[in-house]
Amino acid sequence: MGYMLEVKNLTKTYKDKNAVDDLSFTVPDGLVTGFLGPNGAGKSTTMRMAVGLEKPTSGTATFDGTEFRSLPHPAKVVGTLLDATWFHPGRSARAHLGMMAALQGVPMSRVDDVLERVGIASVAQKKVGGYSLGMKQRFGLACALLGDPKHLLLDEPVNGLDPEGVHWMRDRIRELAAEGRSVLVSSHLLSEMSLTADRLVVIGRGQLVREGTVEEFVGTSGESLIEVRVDRPDELEDALTSSGIRVERGPENQLNVFGVEDPMEVGAMCRALDLTVAGLQRRTPSLEEAFLSATAESTEYRAV
């Protein structure tokens, strides 16, 4: 498996503060990689350094072994959606894309291709400034796809979208990855990332926190528990705590049992106490719970 993007010891210092601090990670080809971190963690700065919009203090970011500034035709290798407001509001989508195609050496036929693909061909002659936020995000994706790049960097592509727009963007991202492209996508919507990403790169305060599949991240960052509902929870709680097992009270007659892997162990204790069991299951943490646990020391994060 090749790598779309390889970040090695990337650092960006502003005055005496490291916005990105000796950061290293890889993004494999053909997968959606979610790029997560609290507000101010350095996600956008990292992406901007990767495509030459900011100069690193030290370290490198390479696409298939080559830095962005050294790519002979960068738009044909890397597509970006980093700012949905960069466009001239008085120009039409078609005019924007036509100008970009001429500058990038891309055939004009690609303009129609990407307009159709993102579903805005019928409004391509209208001024982009009059588009809704969802339409602007579609237009931004069209710009990213114009050069038919192998690799995509998308910074908060679902930010501000309604549920229908979020669903549409998710499907397009998954579709692009299924075609063999690589997608690095940042988002603060953790529930959405659990549905979209194959892998995660999680950073906090500019440093790597975790890297791996979604399942690996949830398994190593969160604490699983067993939920049990019985008719006499006080008796079960006393028995569990006397055995050195941590227990927390849940809603109604539910107990949350920590440090026990097999629910049947709790079930056996219920039988020994002649308790009526109304529910017994093992619950793994959600992506949001795992994220909050992994980035507990990072600040300025608001769960959505």
pLDDT tens digits for 6-47? 999 999 999 889 999 999 999 999 999 999 998 889 999 999
| 210, 220 contact by CB (below 8 A) | yes
pTM (predicted TM-score): 0.80
Distance CA(71)–CA(48), nearest Å, equals 16
Residue range 270-277: mean pLDDT, rounded: 96
The average confidence (pLDDT) of the chain is 91
Mean pLDDT in residue range 140-149: 97
Q: Residue 88 pLDDT more than 70?
A: yes
Q: Which residue has the higher pLDDT, 27 or 291?
A: 27
CA separation, residue 197 to residues 76, 200, 204 (Å): 24, 7, 19
Class of domain 5-77+149-219: alpha beta
Is the pLDDT reported for residue 242 higher than 50? yes
Q: Which helix (H) or strand (E) holds 229?
A: strand 225-230
Please, where in the chain does CATH 3.30.70 lie? Answer: 225-284
The sheet with strand 66-67 has its strands ordered as 17-28, 3-14, 58-63, 66-67
Binned at pLDDT 50, 70 and 90, residue 2 comes out as low
What's the CATH fold of domain 225-284?
A: Alpha-Beta Plaits (3.30.70)
Residues of the chain with CATH 3.40.50.300: 5-77+149-219
pLDDT (mean) for 62-91: 92
